[in-house]
Every structure is written in structure tokens, then in C-alpha cells.
Chains A and B, each alone.
Chain A
Amino acid sequence: MSFDFAIIVDALPKMLMGIGLTFQLLIISAILGLTLAIGLMLMRISGKWYLSWPAQVYIYIFRGTPILVQIFIIYYGFPQLEFIRDSFLWPMFRDPFGCAIFALTLNTGAYVSEILRGGVLGVDRGILEAGSALGLSVRQKFIYLTTPIATRLALPAYGNDIISLLKSTALASTITLADMTGIARTLVAQTFAPYEIFISLAIVYMILTWILQKSLGRVERYLGRYMEK
């Protein structure tokens, strides 16, 4: 088994050119997904059945199906439907980047909403009672008490989801996007050297994950700086 380093030296710069697209997918989907997740979470804990129920169904569907299937339905399936082609959203669905963002956002939104809900439910009841005793309204309690604490509680799980999102961006290569994985697959097809190229690509992703993890660790420590332990 010969490991051809020359191929890697040639391929790495080409693959790294896709990093911009990878990060665009990651950051835009993360932000939009978080917004969607907050909305879904509020719907879920609202207590009103006509808000909570649709949110639950949405989360159930998007957590219960593989993200690759979701991407294919949105990219290949939606254009088949007349009303999508005629709508004002068509420019977004026409573009593979738009489809990828749409799919990743919907998917991460479902997962993160559950993570946020876990954080909110984990807030110590005593603190909320103290808030009531001090005369804070429900809304004030939520904004000033629940949110900061829930954020800190949810951060580890949210961090994991961000890393999952990074890995899911690799699936964008299946709908013609030239992110790092897409470029790698083209290179493999040209050089016939899957081993060398995929291993170096894996190492790049591992480094990115490590960077993300360290940054998230910093944020966790900052948010928990007043805690004793």
C-alpha cells in the first residue's frame, strides 16, 4: 500500500478553497436555525395547543428523518411542484446554495429547539419563585432569569449541534455545491486516489471541529465565570 503524499500536497490547497463555502453554509444555517429554534421553543412551552402542537409535529418530522433525505426532497423534489416554481421563493429553491441553507436551517432548528427547551426546563424552580416573590412579571422572569441560565445550561448540547451542523455541510456536495467535500470528490474522480484525498479531508474537518470545540469551551467558561465550581 503506497501512500502518495504528492497527491495530498496538490489536493489540499484545492480542497481548502471550499472552506469559504463550508463556513458560509455553517454560519448562515446556524444563525437562521437558532432564530427558528427560539420561535419553535416558545411555541412549545406556550401551553396553548394550537401553538404547541404544530411545533411538536414539525420537530418530530425533522428529527425523525435523515437530513440527506430532507436535502433531496428540497432540492430535487420541490421543483416538481408547480406552486413552488411559481412562487416568489423560487429564486432561493433554484439555487443549490439556497436549498442547502433551507434544508440545514430547518433541520438544525428542530434539534436546537429541543436543546433550548431542555435548558429552559432545567432552570431551578427556586430562582423563578424568588423572581415572583420580588414581583417580576412572567415576561420579565423569562427575559432576565430564565434566558441567561438556560443559555448556560444549553450551551454544551448546543455546541454539539453546531459541530453536527459542520459535518452536515459536507452533504451539500450531493447537490452540486463545491464545498470541501465536493471538491474532494471531484479530485478523487480525477486522480483515482480516494484514500489519500479522503484522509486529508478528514483531518481538515477534525482540525475545524477542534477549533470550534475550543472556542465553545471558552464561551462556556465565560458564561459560568460566576459559578463556584
Chain B
Amino acid sequence: MKFITLRKMTIGLAAAFTFGGAAGASAETLRVGMECTYAPFNFRTSDGELVGYDVDVAKGVAEIIGADLEYVCQQWDGMIPALLANKFDLIVASMSITNSRMEKIDFSSPYRDSVGRLVGRKGMDKELFDSAGSPIAANFAGLRIGLERASTYESWFNATLPDADIVLYDGSEPLYLDLVNGRVDAIMTNPMKAHLRFLAKEEGSDYQFVSPAISEVEYFGIGVGIGLRQGQLELKARLDGAIKKLINDGKLTEYALKYFPFPIHNEEWGDS
């Protein structure tokens, strides 16, 4: 019995290796990396289906450029290392186009706004931000802030408020869970998701946004784009063309309206 399994397993191993090597040549299958736990952008429903804004964008782009898609789930902090290690070909995971990331990978043109906001309990006695929208560093003393590791929110915080007490999480869902549990006093996260998944629901009734929308280009980039390895100019051009077409056809708005009462991209990206 063991020997049969041994033979099957050897064939399986060989197949895994050869298919990995052959994928470059055949009818194009692009592997897409995403978190799979980031509602409403890329997440799995109980039917086992991957759904979300990012998933819709990926499918729309694939249809236009004529490729098949395979999805690979990857934890956020390993997303770029995994792309560089060839675990997948594209990142469609609400990844912001920032300068530090562009040193290692390329991005398509943006398909979604990139912005961050802090969420905290109602009735906090201190104002964390002044009327101009800048953070008051002194008022952050003694507060624990929850952030997702390797996110734009982490880079913004490290640069703007380096002395703050930061707690790093592996995913976005635990941020909300721990905010409610009182393990952190505030979290910085995507405001669209925060509103949908948390503030609009009963469990978020005691919480509110405690900062204005923050979208400094240096940390948040011009928007969220599809990540790909450097040196693939032809693929990038095809992706850019597909995204532009999606914008102009109104598809991005359609995808957004599935989850939000408003579109979440900048219409100007469709022009020219």
C-alpha cells in the first residue's frame, strides 16, 4: 500500500514541478495573489467562492486581455515576497502604488482610491487631529494603535508618529475584533471597509472615525493598482489598457456599487 502511494506521489511531485515550469509557454493562465480574508475587496463566501471588488476587477481585466485566472491566497505581509518568488504573477489585493513598493515591483494604472482613516471609540476625551487635519502627536501618548503589518497605514504611522504604541496584525479582520475587545484604542484602516463592515452595523455603534481621510501620496500612492514583477512592460501595457476600458465602460462603477453606495475610483483615470 505504501509503494502505490509512493509512485503516485512521485508522479504528483513531477507534475507539480513541470506544470510550474511550463506555464510560461501555454495559453495564458495568470495566477493572481490576494489575501482572501479582506471583505469586501477579496474574500470567500460560505459557498467557497472568492468574491469582492478586487476579484471583479481581476475577472474584468482577464476577460479583456484574454487570459485565464488562477487564485492564490497569501498572507498580506508576504504578498510582495511571494510575487518576487514567483508564487503568482499578479497582485490584485487592494495594494497601494507607493514609491517604496515601486522599487521592487511594477504596478498597473490605479483602479481604486487609496485612503486611510482612524477608527476609535466615541467619546474619546482627546482630539487626535487638529482642524487642519494634522495629527497631534502628544495626544497619542498612552494609546495603542492597531495596524496591519506591511500596510500603507503602517508606513504612514511609522513616518508621522514614530513614537506611537503600535500593535501589528497579520490580517485586517483581527483589527476590528481587537478594537471591540479593547485590546487597541484605535485602528487605522480603509474607511470604505470600516464603514461597511463595522460602523454601519450594530457592533460599531459605539465607534466612529477619529481622523479625517488621509491620503498623502507619499504613503498611500496615487491609488490601488495591480502589482506585477518588473520587466514585463507588455503585460503592464495590456493591464493598463484593460483598466482604462473598464473605467470607460462604467464597469468599475458597477463593481463598486455592488458593495458601496458610491464608486471608489477616480473617473479622471479613464480619460486620455
Contact = CB atoms under 8 A, between A and B. Distances in A.
> Do A and B form a real pair?
yes
Interface of A: 76, 79, 85, 94-96, 174, 176, 178, 182, 185-186, 188-190, 192-194
Given A94-B183, A96-B183, A176-B167, A189 B84 contact: no
A79 B181 contact: yes
Contacts of B149: 185-186, 189
B150 interface: yes
B13 to A, nearest CB: 22
B176 to A, nearest CB: 11
The bracket for how many chain B residues form the interface is 20 to 34
B150 A190 contact: yes
Q: Please list the 7 inter-chain residue pairs (A to B) with the smallest Cβ-Cβ separation, ordered nearest first.
A: A189-B150, A79-B181, A189-B77, A194-B81, A176-B167, A192-B80, A192-B81
Contacts of B177: 76, 79
A96 B178 CA distance: 10
B70 interface: no
A192 B104 contact: yes
Chain A contact surface mostly: helix
Nearest to A193: B81
B174 interface: yes
B132 interface: no
Contacts of B9: none
A215 B1 CA distance: 44
Contact of B78 (A95, A174, A178, A194): A194
Contacts of A194: 78, 81, 85
Contacts of A95: 183
Nearest to B174: A76
Contacts of B80: 189, 192
Contacts of A85: 181
Contacts of A189: 77-78, 80-81, 149-150
A33 B124 CA distance: 40
B170 interface: yes
8 contacts: A95-B183, A96-B167, A178-B168, A188-B78, A189-B77, A189-B78, A193-B81, A194-B81
B169 interface: yes
A182 B181 CA distance: 22
A192 B174 contact: no
Given A192-B80, A192-B84, A194-B85, A182 B182 contact: no
A198 to B, nearest CB: 10
Contacts of B81: 188-189, 192-194
B76 to A, nearest CB: 8
A194 B79 CA distance: 11
Nearest to A194: B81
